[in-house]
């Protein structure tokens, strides 16, 4: 008995000595020490290692960039790219250099074909085609004309980067086109006309911004007008729920054309959103279809169109974002003047009055739309 006890103690000390290979390791013969749990149904396993084709893709593409006429390098790059469904970011970043070495003007070259495949597989944040669209929009916004055909090719091949490219179009071209006083440089116009149909087809043009741009641009809206396809709805006379500005401002929206309010054009801190008089709709109108105004003295009416957070002008006091297309330029003859809209405006939260003279009298503003 004593001998058995000594042997047991010796074995215990040996197997639990610090540094022993077996120390702390549960024995497979002892149930309950280690449990192998199968992942629940639908749970993703750890991502598999990148394929060898992906690992060597950056080096192969770099060879093509150095010599776009090397047939063997082109063939190897195409083979690896076809075998690599998710190219590494560093390989994707070579797309810009590939674009420069195989310009669109040279036609559908094999190197250009590589760029096509690369853009269709690279993620949005590293997509060379989406990056090219954004860069061309930035340069056009700065006054430098870019080829619309090249921009369109990149947009059509942007793949996962389509939303990013169209988002740049909205921010840099469509919103300025929808904003009174917005910086919409002439080189942006052909790019907007070329790219907007593709973005609209992809569902990437906010309808409220699009219709506001069509109204603001008027006769220069061009193809944009055909993209604003808001369904026609029954409209009726609508009255603002809140009037801000002049003390007697409610007289301009009370349905009585004999009563009115005198307005001046002295600008205030909230001038871009409110003008001299603002009629607020709560909630915003689903559609604004037409307006008419009776005034003595010239001025303009702007619609304040609500936008998603982060887009357009910011109204910090109200915590909203908007664009403010001019919907009417009235002469102020003292008679009714009708202001027809090219397309219905959507999500209209207010109508603002902007006098063009130091003092005018507004007797009535009548809006028709859908609540």
Residue 20 placed within a domain: no
Its pTM stands at 0.81
- The reply to whether 217 and 74 lie within a common domain is yes
CATH code for the domain of 246: 2.60.120.260
Q: What digits encode the pLDDT tens for the residues 156-198?
A: 999 999 999 999 999 999 999 999 998 898 999 999 999 999 9
Helix (H, G, I), strand (E, B) or coil at 174: helix
- The reply to whether 181 and 160 lie within a common domain is yes
- The reply to whether 191 and 297 lie within a common domain is no
Answer with the one of 227, 250, 269 that is the final residue of a domain: 227
- The reply to whether 223 and 241 lie within a common domain is no
Q: Sort strands 333-355 and 359-370 into parallel, antiparallel or unpaired.
A: unpaired
- The reply to whether 321 and 345 lie within a common domain is yes
366 beta partners? 292
- The reply to whether 124 and 143 lie within a common domain is yes
Residue 304 placed within a domain: yes
DSSP-assigned states of every residue in 35-84? --PPPPTTPPPPPPPPPHHHHTHHHHHHHHHH-TT-HHHHHHHHHHHHT-
Question: Rounded distance, CA 182 to CA 328, Å?
Answer: 17
For the cut 50, the answer to whether the pLDDT of residue 4 exceeds it is no
| pLDDT band for position 235 (cuts 50, 70, 90) | confident
Question: Rounded distance, CA 369 to CA 175, Å?
Answer: 23
Average pLDDT value for residue range 300-307: 97
Answer with the one of 167, 198, 227 that is the final residue of a domain: 227
Question: Rounded distance, CA 329 to CA 158, Å?
Answer: 41
Tokens read off for 212? 């506001």
pLDDT at 12: 40
Residue 59 placed within a domain: yes
Residue 21 placed within a domain: no
- The reply to whether 87 and 222 lie within a common domain is yes
DSSP-assigned states of every residue in 247-285? TTGGGGGSS-TT--EEEE----TTHHHHBTEEEEEEEEE
Q: Which of 344, 229, 340 is nearest to 293 (CA)?
A: 340
Average pLDDT value for residue range 269-286: 93
- The reply to whether 242 and 222 lie within a common domain is no
Answer with the one of 167, 202, 227 that is the final residue of a domain: 227
| pLDDT band for position 53 (cuts 50, 70, 90) | low
Average pLDDT value for residue range 225-231: 86
- Give the whole-number percent of the chain exceeding pLDDT 90: 62
| Mean pLDDT (the chain, rounded) | 85
- The reply to whether 71 and 219 lie within a common domain is yes
- The reply to whether 175 and 278 lie within a common domain is no
Tokens read off for 41? 């149904």
Q: What digits encode the pLDDT tens for the residues 16-41?
A: 444 443 333 333 333 332 222 233 33
Number of domain units in the chain: 2
User: Residue 80 belongs to what domain range?
Assistant: 55-227
- The reply to whether 130 and 87 lie within a common domain is yes
């Amino acid at each position: 008995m004593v001998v058995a006890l000594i042997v047991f103690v010796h074995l215990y000390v040996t197997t639990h000595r610090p540094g022993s290979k077996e120390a702390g390791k549960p024995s497979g013969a002892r149930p309950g020490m280690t449990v192998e749990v199968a992942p629940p149904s639908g749970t993703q396993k750890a991502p598999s290692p990148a394929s060898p084709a992906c690992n060597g893709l950056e080096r192969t593409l770099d060879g093509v960039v150095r010599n776009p006429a090397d047939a063997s390098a082109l063939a190897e790059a195409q083979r690896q790219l076809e075998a690599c469904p998710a190219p590494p970011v560093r390989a994707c970043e070579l797309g810009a250099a590939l674009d420069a070495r195989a310009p669109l003007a040279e036609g559908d070259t094999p190197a250009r074909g590589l760029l096509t495949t690369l853009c269709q597989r690279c993620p949005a944040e590293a997509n060379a085609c989406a990056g090219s669209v954004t860069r061309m929009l930035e340069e056009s916004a700065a006054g430098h004309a870019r080829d619309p055909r090249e921009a369109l090719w990149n947009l059509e091949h942007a793949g996962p980067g389509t939303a990013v490219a169209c988002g740049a179009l909205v921010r840099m071209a469509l919103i300025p086109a929808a904003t009174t006083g917005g910086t919409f440089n002439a080189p942006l116009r052909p790019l907007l006309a070329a790219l907007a149909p593709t973005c609209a087809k992809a569902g990437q043009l906010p309808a409220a911004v699009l219709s506001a741009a069509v109204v603001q641009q008027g006769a220069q809206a061009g193809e944009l007008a055909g993209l604003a396809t808001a369904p026609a709805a029954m409209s009726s006379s609508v009255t603002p729920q809140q009037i801000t500005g002049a003390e007697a401002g409610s007289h301009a929206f009370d349905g009585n054309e004999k009563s009115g309010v005198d307005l001046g054009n002295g600008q205030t801190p909230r001038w871009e959103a409110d003008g001299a008089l603002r009629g607020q709709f709560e909630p915003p109108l689903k559609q604004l279809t037409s307006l008419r105004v009776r005034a003595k003295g010239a001025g303009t009416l702007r619609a304040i169109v609500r936008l998603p957070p982060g887009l357009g002008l910011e109204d910090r006091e109200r915590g909203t974002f908007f664009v403010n297309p001019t919907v009417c330029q009235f002469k102020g003859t003292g008679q009714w003047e009708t202001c027809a809209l090219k397309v219905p405006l959507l999500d209209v939260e207010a109508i603002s009055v902007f006098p063009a003279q130091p003092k005018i009298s507004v007797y009535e503003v009548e809006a028709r739309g859908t609540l």
